[in-house]
Amino acid sequence: MFRTTSRKPPKASEPASPPAENTAAAFQGLYSYARPHSRKFALVLVCTLLAISGDLLQPFLVKIAIDDHLAKGAEFGALGLIALVYLILSLTSFLFSYLQDNLLQQAGQSVVAGIRKDLFRHILRQSVAYYDRTPSGSLITYVSSDTESLNQFFTGVLLSLVRDGMTLLFIIVLMFQLDVTMTLYCLLLLPLIAGIAIGFRAYLRRTYQLSRTQLSRLIAFTAENLSGMQLIQAFHQEKEQQTRFLERNDGYYRANLREIRTNVLFNRSFDVLGNLSVAFVTWLGGYAVLGHSIEFGVLYAFITYIRQFFQPINNITQQWNQLQSATVSVNRIWSVFSQQPVVRDPEHPVPLVPAEVQGRIDFERISFHYGEEGPDVIQDLDLHIRPGEMIGIVGTTGAGKSSLISLLCRFYDVQKGSIRIDGTDIRDIEPKTLHRLVGLVQQEPYLYSGSILDNVRLFDPSISAEAVQAACRRVGAHAMILRLKDGYETRVSERGSGLSAGERQLISFARILVFEPRILILDEATANLDSHTELMIQKALQEAAKGRTTLIIAHRLSTITGADRILVMRQGRIAEEGSHRELLELGGHYWQLHRYGRSPAAGAG
């Protein structure tokens, strides 16, 4: 199905707040993505161990140099050897830190690329109802910044937990080796550190959540504005939108400042605590040295270790915000993964061969409403369309015309009745087959960023350039395309800017000829086309409709006067039905529309 832009863009609702966090549960799901890279993670662990050992043995070496050699008179040979070992330890630490960082980046990036791929695929699988209620800005946040936040988890948080956790453990072991009493005194600081960390924890979490929600609001709002820019300018809404943007921008700014303030306070508290601890050890150790219960080298090593002791604690707590934001992100990503499409694929699809399908369509007493509950926008509608028939649909705004074709495309499922193609319920047709059977040209045909050639063949390289050109010739788009700067290779941007609405529609018709769906649905552009373009579109439509069952939502009656049958819809029902002539003779609603020359879709409901 060659769906273009949605006629009803998602409602401008704010993104939902992140769900309640449960760090362990959130990260359990990551395990399946990380498992294929377990060898790399194991190597990271080995490298980390070696890097830490290289680092932490250095003060121990200096202690040996002071106490065993310097204090007992200079032994140049031994000191030289110690200096050499010190150098080797430094290089070991450098080399394995480098390897560890690189390997971890590789593993982390692979995990995140895998998640991003699955997430995008999952979002693509969602039903249209999901896009109705989820602002596109939120989806952009999920795929870009939430996955990026996961990347930071692997390369920042995980590394810190492993590296700094092991460093702490090693330092404690080495300190016990040096002096048990001094170590026990130092460990008294642990409850204080834990107290501060826990005290900040809840507050930090709230600030991170708030700033992410504010960012999501800002992105959602910006994305909405970009997609509705023409409308904003047409209605001179720039000032109002600017005010609304400022409100969101301000919200994000304030949330960000609060986050930074909390962070700085947290880090500085740790710095002060670190300095106080050094003073404490110097005081305690100084007494011990003076009392000859420990040697000077031991005091030196203790002071170095206590400094190093705070670094990993500080690192881990600094990573806390990253962990918070990764938890929020991972929860949001999982909540997207947990969404199941409401329009389900059939369990036992009926095997239909598109080329053999005749194109009969039966709407069997269908009723439909949007969402869980609400008024029926299609009410007990019964309609039977013969293969190859051309049906024109007119009706007032909100009569249900677009809803009817959305149902045929299976963007939504009916709540009552069934829609059948050649007798098969469309719910039993595999989506791939249904999409090949039904071709849709929407009011505002969507063009992907890429060449015109790829836009016609929808990036399917098995369709030759010649086939594309032949289709474009048939719909009368060839000459227009050749006039463009690079002909078929001309690149168009998203939404096809650079081409007129009529030209975009011609390209959509060429798509139809290339993909040959049995059923063609056209939602006619409401834009006023000049008479030349209108004529071209009419011709293109006739060409595209040849041999196909065609449904046209018409905004200009002239488009459908030649249709086999015209349906006039009112409040979700078919109010009148017949050929142009029959309906005029009936003298009803259609006659009125014709007589007063009004665009049927523009009339009041």
Ligand X SMILES: Nc1ncnc2c1ncn2[C@@H]1O[C@H](COP(=O)(O)OP(=O)(O)OP(=O)(O)O)[C@@H](O)[C@H]1O
Residue closer to ligand X by CB (options 297, 395) is 395
Find the part of the chain contacting ligand X (CB under 6 A) among 88-96, 194-202, 391-399, 479-487. 391-399
Residue closer to ligand X by CB (options 8, 384) is 8
Encoded tokens for 118: 């699955």
- How far is it, in rounded angstroms, from Cα 273 to Cα 47? 30
Residue closer to ligand X by CB (options 132, 534) is 132
Q: How far is the CB of 397 from ligand X (least distance, A)?
A: 4
Q: Which amino acid is at 329?
A: S
Q: How far is the CB of 222 from ligand X (least distance, A)?
A: 22
Q: Is 385 in the site for ligand X (CB under 6 A)?
A: no
Q: Is 132 in the site for ligand X (CB under 6 A)?
A: yes
Nearest to 519 by CA among 359, 404, 374: 359
Nearest to 473 by CA among 425, 536, 410: 536
Residues 331-370, one symbol each (x = binds ligand X by CB under 6 A, - = not), give ---------------------------------------x
Q: How far is the CB of 576 from ligand X (least distance, A)?
A: 15
**Exactly one of 100, 277, 403, 508 binds ligand X (CB under 6 A); which one?**
403
Q: Is the backbone of residue 587 left (phi > 0), alpha (psi -120 to 50) or beta?
A: left
- How far is it, in rounded angstroms, from Cα 112 to Cα 583? 60
Find the part of the chain contacting ligand X (CB under 6 A) among 317-325, 333-341, 395-403, 461-469. 395-403
Encoded tokens for 401: 């015309």
Residue closer to ligand X by CB (options 7, 244) is 7
Residue closer to ligand X by CB (options 409, 514) is 409
Which position has the token pair 């161990």? Answer: 49
- How far is it, in rounded angstroms, from Cα 582 to Cα 573? 19
DSSP state of 382: E
**Exactly one of 397, 449, 497, 592 binds ligand X (CB under 6 A); which one?**
397
Contacts with ligand X: how many residues (CB under 6 A)? 14
Q: Is 402 in the site for ligand X (CB under 6 A)?
A: yes
Residue closer to ligand X by CB (options 73, 374) is 374
Find the part of the chain contacting ligand X (CB under 6 A) among 145-153, 219-227, 245-253, 399-407. 399-407
Nearest to 529 by CA among 556, 566, 557: 556
Residue closer to ligand X by CB (options 44, 574) is 574
Q: How far is the CB of 601 from ligand X (least distance, A)?
A: 4
Q: How far is the CB of 485 from ligand X (least distance, A)?
A: 35
Q: Is 399 in the site for ligand X (CB under 6 A)?
A: yes
Q: Is 401 in the site for ligand X (CB under 6 A)?
A: yes
Q: Is 135 in the site for ligand X (CB under 6 A)?
A: no
Q: Is 400 in the site for ligand X (CB under 6 A)?
A: yes
Q: How far is the CB of 131 from ligand X (least distance, A)?
A: 9
**Exactly one of 377, 529, 551, 563 binds ligand X (CB under 6 A); which one?**
377
Encoded tokens for 604: 């009041």
Residue closer to ligand X by CB (options 132, 389) is 132
- How far is it, in rounded angstroms, from Cα 450 to Cα 461? 13
Q: Is 131 in the site for ligand X (CB under 6 A)?
A: no
- How far is it, in rounded angstroms, from Cα 21 to Cα 320? 14
DSSP state of 549: E
Nearest to 474 by CA among 519, 504, 506, 430: 506
Q: How far is the CB of 431 from ligand X (least distance, A)?
A: 20
Q: Is 395 in the site for ligand X (CB under 6 A)?
A: yes
Which H or E element spans position 27? helix 23-34
- How far is it, in rounded angstroms, from Cα 262 to Cα 264? 6
**Exactly one of 114, 398, 450, 603 binds ligand X (CB under 6 A); which one?**
398
Q: Is 8 in the site for ligand X (CB under 6 A)?
A: yes
Q: How far is the CB of 166 from ligand X (least distance, A)?
A: 54
**Exactly one of 65, 471, 557, 601 binds ligand X (CB under 6 A); which one?**
601
Encoded tokens for 99: 């390897």
Q: How far is the CB of 108 from ligand X (least distance, A)?
A: 39
349 φ, ψ to 5°? -65, 145
Number of H helices, E strands in the chain: 22, 12
Residue closer to ligand X by CB (options 337, 370) is 370
Buried b (16+ CB within 10 A) or exposed e, 155-181: bbbbbbbbbbebbbebbbebbeebbee
Encoded tokens for 282: 């110097």
Q: Is 383 in the site for ligand X (CB under 6 A)?
A: no
Q: DSSP letters of 108-119?
A: HHHHHHHHHHHH
Buried b (16+ CB within 10 A) or exposed e, 355-380: eebebbbbbeebebbbeeeeebbbbe
Q: How far is the CB of 476 from ligand X (least distance, A)?
A: 27
Q: List residues binding ligand X (CB under 6 A).
A: 7-8, 132, 370, 377, 395, 397-403, 601
